[in-house]
Amino acid sequence: MRRTEVAIGRTGSGQELEYHVVDVFTDHAFSGNPLAVVLGAERLRAVQLQTLAREFQLSETAFPMFGDASVAAVGADYQLRIFTPEVELPFAGHPSVGTAWLLQELGLVTARDGHVVQVCGVGALPLGRDTEGRVELRGGGASLGAHVPASAVVAAIGLDPTDLVGPAPRLAGTGIDFVVAPVLPEALARAHPDLAVLRRVFPSAGAGTGESWSSGSVAGVLVVAWDEDLAAVPTFRARMFAGDVGVAEDAATGSAALALGVFLVDAGALPAEGESRYVVRQGVEMGRPSVLRCRLQATGRETTAVFVSGDVVPVASGTVRVPAVG
């Protein structure tokens, strides 16, 4: 429908940009996690991109960028910049999946060897297709961080220490870190984030205080419960809270689902060898149910690769004014 070179700097009269809104990690509109994708923003400054993200007021707004020689040099198809209403993120799952799906639908990128490759703040990441044709993102390198005291977690999410079960809360990630906190299933609905505590103890922007539990940034707290009624494939219900990115709760967090896999292998809840699969159901309490399908490869109880895939549904498209500078 369009070619890459047409998308570069696509601003119409110079005052408007084309955008699309898609719902990610769902197979029907008005559920899952909404994402705005703005095309032709290559020449905009960061402050303008942030202004647009603040205007959309979604958990993330994505800006695919074409034409940068350094991106092509690493074998990537495009650069992806991702903004919440308040900050730029180095990496996020639902913007990566949603943007890759949209760009292929519009004919702006074509898969090579079954993949497209995006460059973001954590490097070049491939996106392929799962066995049912959904866009599938491979996360970055797996990492495990410090265990987090239960007192800090329950203060941030409004629960009682007795609501925590299983392995102790811990930092995990595949590009950005999350605090993963297993809880009783009935505790999910009662979780109520204290944004002041989240900002102070788990600063998303990494503006560390003496109470911070990461040397860098913490993307949020992922509260998870195992849904034993759907045990054919291990299924987890989840909620994700963040204090200082402009959105207190996320309807579907691909990067957190990837982090969960790293946590589960280390905790012995997924096989220590070979490939395994698990499902994350999120957004139910927000009225935006989402399904994130994950697979993981492990060797010697260490995660070597983890993937997340999901459906994407188009919802809206149009044009938006280019914000003024200054």
Rounded distance between C-alpha atoms, residue 131 and residue 143, angstroms:
27
State the pLDDT at residue 244. 78
What's the pTM?
Answer: 0.92
pLDDT at 9 over 80: no
Rounded distance between C-alpha atoms, residue 323 and residue 40, angstroms:
13
Question: Number of C-alpha atoms within 13 angstroms, CB side, residue 305?
Answer: 10
203, two tokens: 């600063």
Helical ranges in the chain per DSSP H = 4-7, 46-56, 69-73, 93-105, 150-157, 195-201, 254-267
262, two tokens: 């790293």
Q: What are the Cα distances from residue 303, in Å, to 92, 125, 278?
A: 19, 17, 14
pLDDT digits (tens, 9 = 90+) for 122-181: 999 999 999 999 999 999 999 999 999 999 999 999 999 999 999 999 999 998 999 999
pLDDT digits (tens, 9 = 90+) for 202-254: 887 543 333 444 445 788 999 999 876 656 789 999 999 998 788 899 999 99
State the pLDDT at residue 243. 84
State the pLDDT at residue 291. 98
State the pLDDT at residue 128. 98
Query: Is residue 85 within 8 Å of 49, Cβ to Cβ?
Result: no
Residue reference for tokens 């110079």: 14
pLDDT digits (tens, 9 = 90+) for 292-308: 999 999 999 999 999 99
**Percent of the chain with pLDDT strictly greater than 70:** 90
**Residues forming a β-bridge with 298:** 274, 303
Query: Is residue 178 within 8 Å of 219, Cβ to Cβ?
Result: yes
Structural domains for the chain: 4-134+312-321 (3.10.310.10), 143-309 (3.10.310.10)
The closest of 261, 249, 324, 245 to 298, measured between CA atoms, is 261
How is 54-88 classified by DSSP, letter by letter?
A: HHHTSSEEEEEE---HHHHHTT-SEEEEEE-SS-E
pLDDT digits (tens, 9 = 90+) for 72-117: 999 999 999 999 999 999 999 999 999 999 999 999 999 999 999 9
- Residue 220, sorted as left (phi over 0), alpha (psi -120 to 50) or beta, turns out to be left
**Mean pLDDT, the chain, integer:** 91
The closest of 314, 318, 179 to 241, measured between CA atoms, is 179
**pLDDT mean over 187-199:** 93
194, two tokens: 């204290």
Residue reference for tokens 């369009």: 2
Characterize the bridge pairing of strands 116-120 and 78-83.
parallel
